[in-house]
Amino acid sequence: MALDLSPQTQQSINRARGRYPNSQAALIPVLHLIQDEVGHLSDEALDYAGRLLDLPPAHVFGVVTFYTMFRRTPPARHRLHVCANIGCVVRSGYDAMEHVHKRLGIRPGQATSDGLFSLDEDDDMIGCEGGASVVDGHTRHAHLTVDKLERLLDDLGKAPAPQGTHPNGFPPIDALTAFRSTPGEKIVTKNIGVPDIRKLATYQARGGWQAFKKALGMQRTVLVDEVKASNLRGRGGAGFPTGMKWGFLPKDAKQVYLVCNADESEPGTFKDRVLIAGDPHLLVEGIAVSAYTLGCTHAYLFIRGEMASEAKIAQAAVDEAYAAGLLGKAHTTAAGSYTLDITVHRGAGAYICGEETSLLNSLEGKRGWPRMKPPFPAVRGLFGQPTIVNNVETLMNIPDIVMRGGAAFAKLGIGKSGGTRVLSVSGHVNRPGVYELPMGIPFRQLIDEFCGGMLGGKKLKGVIPGGSSMPVLDASEIDVPIEFDALMTDARIKDVEVKPGVPFDMGGGKKLKTMAGSGGVVIFDETTDVVSFCATIMRFYAHESCGQCTPCREGTAWLARVCSRLAEGEGRPGDVDLLAKIAFGIAGNTICPLGEAAAWPMLGFLTKFRPDFEAALAKSKAGKSGQVADLNKTGEPSQLVQLGNTGRAAS
């Protein structure tokens, strides 16, 4: 049966095809448009997309089945969106997503065989106060304890389909409810809360687009030098100096691309979502100034597919900039005539696409598999051309640097980290939310002064400092500044260990402490079941591993399996050491950093909270019996662990 699409959808498809230099790159936008109208991607839909874009059926099928947002079956009667934010897991005291999985037998992106339920992720950021949340249709069921969640599933199983549906992605929510205003210098949040700030006229009345105008009158080399002088470091996770990264572009490059990475998927992180919703025109101007500086004439804003509402907000800001002649129109500049186009591109559900080369593959209409490096994107990136990939918060700082100067921006920070820092704070604090704060304040001040102290007056147990992939801190380590270099080097932070007394070696004798990461701060108190919490994180990475390389594909699955059985009272003697061996076998042996994203927190939890894991083992049936499992018969990953260890020893 031929696919019959509405004229509106066909027009949108034609517009999407015109935003990319080849037809393959339009595949994911086209698939979104088809699914938004039809509800799923049937064989007919895949055939239509393949013929339209002149792509082999195998390629289209491979892309559709890689991303969790694309569905091959009609929508279920109840599309359940379960909050998977780890801060919400901490506050609610249990993993609602895992609970629903065990009850229904499906994972995110899947549906039950009877068509009754499908499962998707939600992230209500700070909304899980006292319980998990589940969205069905337009109804958000909040404050769900385990018993309430069970009753809800029972009731929904007997209920008709809800009236009305929402676009594929996170259910609509006012992201600005997570923003917390505080005294002090503000750069990227200065306009949040201003009435009508999403309108271009309001933004311009507050000085918007003046940085772009000023930049057009400056030489590009001068602008790069200002960014270098600013000590601006990447806010997406790595903390790499932005100006230095820009300097890696070949001087003779004829075509350069800039990609804004808004694929914010790191558990515990939701700042970029708030920034896009709160001041979209600042992001668009930041992209425009950066694009001019780099000599880029077409920039892409790659936004997490689930952030459908924020994508619409960003697109509206881009449309206004086009209508005002700021985009798509030639400007006279110090470097000659200059015209910029910006395309908003939605991802399709894959954590791995937060890694820059995976993102580029996805943007090209491929599976989001990471690329081998070198060559690095600055030399050979998007569509084979030199490319810079920067985070949302990073680019939103650029207009301020142009206006006040790099040196003045650097003075706002400390050491080699200029400016302010935006943090997403969740977990057991009285005022979770998104904060823009001075660079380098300690965690203790963040918790006590800004977040109103620990929830219920309980004692702090630990802090995840920068998203779930960063090694955890215990309560004795919270007087360290929240700054890139301090978190990697401060002697007050204990070294992460492979086993007691043996530090993890990152190479060249460098020890691993922790990192600032994405700014996702998750705070948990003395009541937290650390082993269960860690198991939730390990299950996430097992689910999100792209499967391209063996150590990550197999290793993350084993971390999830072994840690989960410990948490559920089914641990076996040797499991605690086994977790460390598996993590050690993964780290440093994968194509992209997702391997470390699972291995480092696992080793961090074992280093800081080993007694909790040993206590969980002591309570386990096998642990009490003292019977050691036969590793060969039970299929333990002994070969994987050995491979990882010998590989590291040989390097």
- The domains found in the chain, sorted by start residue, are 7-66 (1.10.10), 78-173 (3.40.30.10), 183-411 (3.40.50.11540), 425-650 (1.20.1440.230)
Residue among 125, 132, 127 nearest 148 (CA): 132
- What pLDDT, on the 0 to 100 scale, is given for residue 83? 86
- What pLDDT, on the 0 to 100 scale, is given for residue 193? 94
- 355, 593 in Cβ contact below 8 A? yes
pLDDT tier for residue 647 given thresholds of 50, 70 and 90: very low
* Cα–Cα distance list, 15 to 11, 326, 402 (Å): 6, 20, 34
| Lowest mean pLDDT segment, chosen from 94-98, 215-219, 221-225, 613-617 | 94-98
| Lowest mean pLDDT segment, chosen from 77-86, 142-151, 624-633 | 624-633
pTM over 0.85: yes
Mean pLDDT of the chain: 91
Separate counts of helices (H) and strands (E) for the chain? 27, 17
Please say whether the dihedral angle defined by the alpha carbons of residues 388, 481, 493 and 473, taken in this order, is positive or negative: negative
Q: Cα–Cα distance between 233 and 409 in angstroms, integer?
A: 12
What CA dihedral angle connects 614, 619, 621 and 624, to 10 degrees? Answer: 70
First to last CA, the chain: 57
- What pLDDT, on the 0 to 100 scale, is given for residue 169? 79
What confidence tens digit (pLDDT) does each residue in 34-52 have?
Answer: 999 999 999 999 999 999 9
